[in-house]
Amino acid sequence: MCKQCELKPVIILSNSKKGLCRSCFFRYFERKFNKTISQFKLIEPDEKIGVAVSGGKDSLSLLYLLNKIREKRRFRIEALLIDEGIKGYRDKTIMDAKRFCRELGTKLTIVSYKGEFGYTLDQMLKKLKIKPCSICGVFRRYLLNKYSRKLKFDKLATGHNLDDEVQTILMNQFRSNQEISARLGPITGIKDSEKFVRRIKPFYLITEKETTTYAYLKNFNIPFCECPNNTQAYRIEVRNFINNFEQRYPGTKHSIINSFLEILPSLKEKYRNYEEIKYCRKCKEPSSKEICQTCELRNKIR
Amino acid sequence: MVKVFVEKENKRINLRAKDIDEIMKKLNINKEEVIIVKNNELTPRNERLKNSDELKFLSVISGG
């Protein structure tokens, strides 16, 4: 029974084993979301927050909640969607995103690979012998930053949840990528950079089971839709490993996040100098090399 | 027989089982990766099943 009101629970929280009924779960979820924003100072009054939406349950739940609190916290929101051009997948999720934004009255900007680079991802994959996720990782990040700046967003909110972050932390550990871990956390990017829009993750402390439960109970009607190009074999293996571990030792994911948050300031301090932004010689966008990965990839596609 | 739907694989099957845990074991489903809907109600704990029950395993994993 729900610990608070003795009704039938809709979820058992994995870290505390506490069962919550529908209305207590909504209260728990929204409180956690609000607390994350306050605790990590993710949003300041009068800011314009871009919301990166894919049309999936996490990003649309995020849009719904940011829209719900924007008046009280005095900020504005707009949605941004990157259309890679993946037939049978993105075209479907775009419909859900459009419907959702229409219902909320939120402005949605759609930027496509085709319009920006001349080809859809499907077309690029026919030209290049390269893993699709490597293309998307580079192009999507590039477009999100470029258009966040064009649309004058102060920050860009993404639907990354606790599970996403735990997977990335462990993947970086297993591959000894501490420098990349230093760039993680609930708020990322460099302060006061003209060219780089900071990213925020208001679902940082919320599990994907919780976001799915929330979207289901709110009747968002977002069907499960998997990218046909999902080649992130390593991430999937790490995810299975963590989920098996969590099933046997509940609370593992929360422990990983909590210990990571403790060492994150030290990591950021250690790699502070690496964070200095350089700019691509060709496109003038932020880059770690002289020519950015986006320009390198574009060259190969031509 | 219990009517079962597994969203991730878009699979519909009929199974005989005494409870939800038995079905999850049979289908090798990790409880971390699904939310369970029994007769249109979220059901987070193991429950006994009877004939004509409907069970859905909805995927919590984001699609990429």
Output the domain CATH number for residue B50.
3.10.20.30
Which DSSP symbol is given to A195?
S
pLDDT at A298 exceeding the cut of 70: yes
pLDDT at A70 exceeding the cut of 80: yes
Secondary structure (DSSP) of A62-117: HHHHHHHHHHHHT-EEEEEEEE---TTTHHHHHHHHHHHHHHHT--EEEEEHHHHH
B42 contacts A244? CB cut-off 8 A: no
CA angle, residues A139, A120, A57, in degrees to nearest 5: 70
Of A19, A217, A227, the CB nearest to B64: A227
A247 contacts B63? CB cut-off 8 A: no
Of A89, A161, A246, the CB nearest to B32: A246
Strand arrangement, sheet containing A76-83: A108-112, A76-83, A48-52, A155-157, A198-200, A187-188
- Its pTM stands at 0.94
Residue B64 inside a domain? The answer is: no
DSSP 3-state percent helix, strand, coil across chain A (nearest 5):
50, 10, 35
Does residue A194 contact residue A258 with C-beta atoms inside 8 Å? Answer: no
B44 contacts A19? CB cut-off 8 A: yes
Q: What is the pLDDT of residues A253-289, one digit of tens each?
A: 999 999 999 999 999 999 887 656 788 999 988 887 8
Sort out which chain A residues have CB atoms less than 8 A from B25's CB and list them: none
**Cβ-based burial of A52 (10 A; exposed 0-12, middle 13-18, buried ≥19):** buried
Of A56, A209, A217, the CB nearest to B63: A56
When the pLDDT of each residue in chain A is averaged and rounded to a whole number, the result is: 92
Residue B54 inside a domain? The answer is: yes
Sort out which chain B residues have CB atoms less than 8 A from A217's CB and list them: 42
Secondary structure (DSSP) of A119-185: S-HHHHHHH--S-HHHHHHHHHHHHHHHHHHHTT-SEEE----HHHHHHHHHHHHHTT-HHHHTT-S
Sort out which chain A residues have CB atoms less than 8 A from B42's CB and list them: 10-11, 213, 216-217
Residue B51 inside a domain? The answer is: yes
Q: For residue A127, what pLDDT is reported?
A: 85
Of A12, A213, A230, the CB nearest to B64: A230
Q: Which residue has 């037939």 as its token pair?
A: A87
Measured in angstroms, the CA of B35 and the nearest CA of chain A are apart by: 7
The amino acid at A285: E
ipTM over 0.90: yes
- Please give the domain boundaries of chain A with CATH numbers for all domains: 39-275 (3.40.50.620)
CA distance A179 to A267: 8
Q: Is B58 on the interface with A (CB under 8 A)?
A: yes
A239 contacts B61? CB cut-off 8 A: yes
Q: For residue A234, what pLDDT is reported?
A: 87
Q: For residue A288, what pLDDT is reported?
A: 79
Sort out which chain B residues have CB atoms less than 8 A from A89's CB and list them: 63
B62 contacts A10? CB cut-off 8 A: no
Q: Is B25 on the interface with A (CB under 8 A)?
A: no
Sort out which chain A residues have CB atoms less than 8 A from B61's CB and list them: 208, 239
A209 contacts B32? CB cut-off 8 A: yes
Q: Look at residues A128, A151, A155, A152 and name the one whose alpha carbon lies nearest to residue A139.
A: A128
* Neighbouring-strand partners of residue A8: none
CA distance A75 to A93: 27
Range A44-66 average pLDDT: 96
- What range does the domain containing B16 cover? 2-59
Mean pLDDT by 10 residues, chain B (64 residues): 93 95 95 95 93 94 69
Category of A26 on φ-ψ map: left (φ > 0), alpha (ψ -120 to 50) or beta = alpha
The total of structural domains in chain B comes to: 1
Beta-carbon contacts of A64 under 8 Å, excluding residues fewer than 6 positions away, are: A100, A104, A218, A220
SS3 state of residue B58: strand
Q: What is the pLDDT of residues A152-180, one digit of tens each?
A: 999 999 999 999 999 999 999 999 999 88
The amino acid at A295: C
